[in-house]
Structure 1
Amino acid sequence: MTAFMDPTFTQALREQLIARVHTSTARRRRKSWRIAGALAGVAMAGSAAAAVATNPRPQPGTDQVRVLRAGEQIEGSGPTTIDLGRPPADATHIELTFTCLDAATYTFQDGSALICDREQLQRPISTERQAIAITSGTRTLSVETIQGARWRLTADYSNRRRTPYATNAAGDTYGASSDGHEDPELVAVMATNGKSGYAYFTDLNLPLPTSPAEAQTQQEENRGKRRVIPVYTSDGTTVIGQFVMD
């Protein structure tokens, strides 16, 4: 597939890149890699790591989750709106556990979506979890999909509180990075050997280009290359594995 850009769009893109370079000292660049603790599966999007049970010792930087009211399992089909009842006073989220029973796209009220294909339905586990933020007065959960598409879900009211990053003896912060928050010096990742650890933010991210020409050169130089990054314990010195970026 070949992508084409018209001259107006190209110029706007170049201007945005230059503006991004000029403001890089005020706001650190967001990552393009997956962190440990993210939701399993790639179809559900738009939330931090979800949990359906109380999580007493979360990864620094993730949410402390306290379930306030557990919901019953509901089965249905097609688009629907479910009344969950009045939320507890300190509820902040709906903890959604959703299983698709037919191949279809299922969209929820926060804009996140689950796309289930026939191959996914054949897997032993086709359940996804999602945390949906609620606003004042929210007591319903909406599911948008095609007529006849079957699904199963449970929806619990919870209170979520983001935990602060921890700091090691060297003074480096560590924890799970999330959108909308400053990154820690050591970011939680999963090593290729299956061990959970941390990689330095500066190792995960290439230097920010200073011009469109440098950005293009950087992209061409790194196309097709695999970067092997050391994974440490929280002390930032003890190596326990590797993290590979294509």
Structure 2
Amino acid sequence: MNTTTINRTFAAAVERELAAIGTARSRLRRHQRRTRTATIAIGSLALVGALTGAAVVVSGLPGETTVTPFETVVTGSYTGTGEIELGPVPEGADRVILDVTCSEGGKIEVPLRAPTGGDDRVTWNCSDPVRKNLTTHINDGRLPGGDSTSITVIADPGTPWSVTARYGGSETTEWGTNVNDETYGVPNDNGIPDLSAAYATNGKVGYIRQSEFWSIEGCINVYLSDGTTVIGLFPNGAAEGECDPAR
């Protein structure tokens, strides 16, 4: 099964820096109606590596969130907008994990969890040839609200899709702190650390400083967690290849 993983960090970061969201390379769109979501997402933008929607391949970084699926699985097939009955929210659940498959029709929109409120969603087009026959994995779907035991997935009329869904819980580790009292790690629901994880163009994993990310356009330094030792460069809006080690 071909699978694309979506997470908040990936979607917003690539949309902001690599301009992949909404292009032929990705064509996955996030609707973010609160600046908090877009801001927190910026940081581990190069950890995703390629523009394929692959999950973060480096683990054990400070601030990382580990998602654990619950045992009870719900499956179903729908045409157009559908309501997925999940049952009562179990203790410890903070999200819904979904695998959605479609290959024809129009758009599908899935609600995402927004820890501080707001309306956060992910949307894609099922007839897009780039996405055809892919299963989209969403690990941060929104829990049912209030006394509800179901979530609604919006799809254009006549769009067939199937889903496997379950509740999930998560644990987030603490950010690290260096000798200069700067936090480092990956963005999470608590915000963005001072130094956020990134791949340098030489393939090394380090950290970019958020103040430089927002103020400098071009090649910015990738540091060790000390925030001082430079191990490579990150293309913050730079032209393709401009920050490559061979240049």
TM-score by length of 1: 0.61
Aligned AA (2:121): S
State the match for 2:149 in structure 1: 139
Cα displacement string for residues 182-238 of structure 1 (whole angstroms, at most 9, x for unaligned residues): 43221122333444321011211118xxxxxxxxxxxxxxxxxx5101112323234
Following TM superposition, by how much is the alpha carbon of 1:92 offset from its aligned partner in structure 2, in angstroms? 1.3
Cα distance in structure 1, aligned partners of 2:235 and 2:148? 42
| Conserved 8 A contact 2:87-2:150 | yes
Cα displacement string for residues 103-123 of structure 1 (whole angstroms, at most 9, x for unaligned residues): 42112345513222523234x
User: If each structure's helix is expressed as a fraction of its own residues, which one has the higher value?
Assistant: 1
Equivalent residue runs for 1:58-97 within 5 Å? 59-97=61-99
1:43 counterpart (22, 26, 29):
29
1:241 counterpart (220, 225, 232):
232
TM-score by length of 2: 0.61
State the match for 2:198 in structure 1: 189
State the match for 2:138 in structure 1: 129
Q: Report which of the two structures shows the higher radius of gyration computed on alpha carbons.
A: 1
Following TM superposition, by how much is the alpha carbon of 1:63 offset from its aligned partner in structure 2, in angstroms? 2.4
State the match for 2:109 in structure 1: 107
Q: Secondary structure at the match of 1:205?
A: helix
Q: Secondary structure at the match of 2:70?
A: strand
Q: Secondary structure at the match of 2:63?
A: coil
State the match for 2:54 in structure 1: none
| Conserved 8 A contact 1:95-1:155 | yes
Cα distance in structure 1, aligned partners of 2:65 and 2:83? 27
> What do you get for the CA RMSD once the two structures are aligned?
3.3
The runs of 4+ residues in structure 1 deviating greater than 6 Å are none
| Conserved 8 A contact 2:175-2:183 | yes
Cα displacement string for residues 132-151 of structure 1 (whole angstroms, at most 9, x for unaligned residues): 23245342121111222122
| Conserved 8 A contact 1:173-1:184 | yes
| Conserved 8 A contact 2:222-2:231 | yes
Q: Secondary structure at the match of 2:156?
A: coil
Equivalent residue runs for 1:12-51 within 5 Å? 33=16, 42-44=28-30
Cα displacement string for residues 62-121 of structure 1 (whole angstroms, at most 9, x for unaligned residues): 423222234244333211101112221221111122233224211234551322252323
State the match for 1:205 in structure 2: 214
Gaps of 5+ in 1: 1-30, 50-56, 208-225
Cα distance in structure 2, aligned partners of 1:92 and 1:153? 19
User: If each structure's strand is expressed as a fraction of its own residues, which one has the higher value?
Assistant: 2
Tell me whether 1:120 sits opposite 2:127 in the alignment.
Answer: no
Q: Secondary structure at the match of 2:29?
A: coil
Aligned AA (2:103): L
In structure 2, relative to structure 1, the CA distance for the partners of 1:82 and 1:72 (3 Å cut) is closer
| Conserved 8 A contact 2:95-2:139 | no
Cα distance in structure 2, aligned partners of 1:232 and 1:152? 44
In structure 2, relative to structure 1, the CA distance for the partners of 1:71 and 1:243 (3 Å cut) is same
Aligned AA (2:150): T
Tell me whether 1:229 sits opposite 2:229 in the alignment.
Answer: no
State the match for 1:151 in structure 2: 161
Identity %: 26
Cα distance in structure 2, aligned partners of 1:95 and 1:86? 15
| Conserved 8 A contact 2:17-2:236 | no
| Conserved 8 A contact 1:103-1:121 | no
